[in-house]
Structure 1
Amino acid sequence: MVYVASDDRYEAMRYNRVGRSGLKLPAVSLGLWHNFGGIDAYENGREMIVRSFDLGITHFDLANNYGPPAGSAEELFGRVLARDLAPYRDELIISTKAGYYMWPGPYGDWGSRKYMLASLDQSLKRLGVDYVDVFYSHRPDPHTPLEETMGALAHAVRSGKALYVGLSNYSAEQTAEAIRILNELGTPLLIHQPSYSLLDRWIENGLQEELDKHGIGSIAFTPLAQGMLTNKYLNGIPADSRAAGPSTALSESRITPEALRKIRALNQMAVSRGMTLAQFALLWTLRGGKVTSALIGASRVSQIEENIAALGHSDFTPEELERIENILHTDAEAGG
């Protein structure tokens, strides 16, 4: 059956300008970090991708190592693009990254020019495209001069293999230096992709200010704190949850009694607004317009539909924001 995109795909989604650039991203983007690998069901991944596009998600975020196995998420997306989304390529923002281990030997990891550009070529083949819209340095390399890594990003744009460049997991200080170098190279930084959620607010300690100063966008990954900010953990740790399994991204040790107290209090606020906890957390991440887009993951279509529905709720009042801060900063002994 030939896929035809929904005619009303742009009616409900909100699109935010990326810093001072000419590009806009959907307020909610889809990340293919988990559940789109070679070990996962292709048809489920395809359904999530095309349903996302029908709901106005135009941005699909990948990396060379997403899977498992590494590279298989790009291959899956490439298959869906060729089969279903090829007529809509110019409506899509496809991003990928390089920075983590991909192949044996000294040239298959980190941030050297050799690795970054070889990895990009491999990603383009897996995706079946001539260029990606955004190419990221996935993490800073302590052993490679920043000038070399940023030079590789700039070369990717000059060669026509990427339209924009981004950073992920860089500190405020590293980001400031990268901005300076990229400006000198004539390829300004478009976007930074940091972790950010109600339970992980490190970007408020300098990074967000640096991005605002230079007119650079941000896209928050793990806005639901690897599932902690969903209904899944309200009554403890289910046996089939990520926290109970071998995942290194979310360990059982993070779900402490204190964390559960905060999550349950936030959930009470969400319910009073007619929202799920996940919707509440996404709306908070996007509050005030500082974060360009919230990057969600999903294992089924219904989760994507639930998350996008967050955009239909009213923004938080100052009183609600103050109450959220009280929940997050009141210790267990004080109640709350």
Structure 2
Amino acid sequence: MLDRAKVPGWTKASVVEISGNNRRDKKIIERELKGGNIDLIHFTNQDDAALVPKNNLVPVAISVHNLFDFRPRTLDAGDIPIPLGNRNPSSKYLRFMEDCKMGFNRSDLVICSTKMTQGMASELFPNTTNSMVRIPVDTDFWNYKNNFIDRDFNENFGISDKLLLVSVGDSSKMFRQNFIDSVIESLPSNIKDDIFLMKIGIQKLTKVQILGAYNNAEAMLFPGITIGLQNPTLEAMAVGCKVIASSLPTHDEILPKASLLEPSDIECWKDEIIKLHDDWSKSGKVTMFRDEELISTSKKYNFDAQGIKLAHAYNSIIR
């Protein structure tokens, strides 16, 4: 966000590229601090927390997307358990985690990308202030009015006469692709034959092709979880694409209630797709209008909005 001048009152003084050599990296950070004109250090990668100086000359902030390695857990997704965090770390990794934990405790601010992560930060680092700043979505790029891509965005898929649905994620349990397959398989054959399901993440697509998919899809199906990194549902919302997601973390922090379904209720998901198919058929098999309300909601999480939040977070720790 600093690159885009989206953090009011703040500019980037310098950037330290972390090499992985802690001794060398610490010396570079010390040298930058002694050079002056620095009011705050922001570690944008939580794995660099061990580099937080022991005698902070200026306030230190650390960005965090999830903390499950510090406190592993299993999330009940209804049909399957989803393990989160490293349950069998090596002794080397345990030492690394301990060094990071001490760095978090030396810092002045933990910047969390979700409420769930913020709650864990409060428990793990009770003496360090925390704040929530979402990973922003580029609403200018994803807005269909700025970058509309027609239905022929990739002729190889052969979707011209199909109802297009998209899902996102690889074969990891957290994305629950098998559940989507079960839902599609449960549909009446006449509806199933009309549907093309594009699996973004399993099918390798460029960013422009993904934009084309969201532009032309009747809905995104997302039964899995998001834990703090890039949020595909926000990108789809910014396009105005309908989102159907599970009521699992962290969708309930962002999505409208109407977008959330029970994680393992196949009938409920099937009914939603049948309704989509009915509406698509009645419209003459034309992609539905983009949802302006979803587009408006996505703007709460764009660079401007999150830049203001980041500025407030920075200002809160200035000495």
TM-score normalised over the length of structure 2: 0.33
TM-score normalized with structure 1 length: 0.31
* Structure with max Cα Rg: 2
Q: Greater relative contact order: 1 or 2 (C-alpha under 8 angstroms, separation 6 or more)? A: 2
